[in-house]
Amino acid sequence: MPGFIFKKGKVGIVSKSGTLTYEAADQVVKQGFGITTAIGIGGDPIIGTTTKEAVELLMNDPETEAIVMIGEIGGQLEADAARWIKATGNKKPVVGFIAGQTAPKGRTMGHAGAIVGGSDDTAQAKMEILRENGIHVVESPAEIGKKVAEVLN
């Protein structure tokens, strides 16, 4: 990863989007915090690591003090992670963003995993589930760095 974007720090990132991983890392670094680990899980229908598994790794990492979780429309991975975070006591602040807020229902967006199949797959539904489970949800990826600074300060 480019050294001018990723600097060592205390924020972990879990993301379905490579581009938004870079964006979040850049914003976090510009806020003065840096990154412990960035885990790109991708958004394909069949994946090797779930969002929940990646979040759990960061929750158990002593160097990580906050987590950025970037998801997207389609599937239940973000909801599963959010429910797990709440059920285990939410030991670290989590900032969440869900991409695809303007995606039309039933259309694949970007890759095969990003498709709204039901009402719980929409960005709005996922954002509400994240909020209900104690995650600090931002409406735009441009707000990630500021929200991380807010929760860490």
CATH number assigned to the domain comprising residue 72: 3.40.50.261
Q: Residue 122 is part of which domain span?
A: 10-152
Residue 112 in this model has a pLDDT that exceeds 80: no
Residue 105 in this model has a pLDDT that exceeds 70: no
**Tokens coding 12:** 């972990």
Average pLDDT over residues 44-62: 91
Q: Is 5 part of a structural domain of the chain?
A: no
Question: Confidence class of residue 113 from pLDDT cuts 50, 70 and 90?
Answer: low
Question: Confidence class of residue 46 from pLDDT cuts 50, 70 and 90?
Answer: confident
Tell me the β-bridge partners of 71.
98
Q: Is 29 part of a structural domain of the chain?
A: yes
**Tokens coding 18:** 């490579």
pLDDT digits (tens, 9 = 90+) for 140-151: 999 999 999 999
Q: Is 30 part of a structural domain of the chain?
A: yes
What per-residue confidence (pLDDT) applies to 102? 78
Q: Which alpha helices (H) appear in the chain, and where do they start and end?
A: 18-30, 51-59, 77-87, 123-132, 144-152
What per-residue confidence (pLDDT) applies to 106? 62
Quick one: which of 49, 141, 52 has its CA closest to 95?
A: 141
Residue 125 in this model has a pLDDT that exceeds 80: yes
Residue 117 in this model has a pLDDT that exceeds 60: no
Average pLDDT over residues 79-97: 95
Which of 34, 111, 125, 152 is catalytic? The answer is 111
Q: Is 3 part of a structural domain of the chain?
A: no
Domain count, the chain: 1
What per-residue confidence (pLDDT) applies to 121? 72
Average pLDDT over residues 95-109: 78
Q: Does the annotation count 136 as an active-site position? A: no
Q: Is 31 part of a structural domain of the chain?
A: yes
How far apart are alpha carbons 28 and 144 in whole angstroms?
Answer: 8
pTM of the complete model: 0.90
Q: Is 1 part of a structural domain of the chain?
A: no
**Tokens coding 118:** 């039901």
Q: Is 113 part of a structural domain of the chain?
A: yes
Question: Confidence class of residue 74 from pLDDT cuts 50, 70 and 90?
Answer: confident
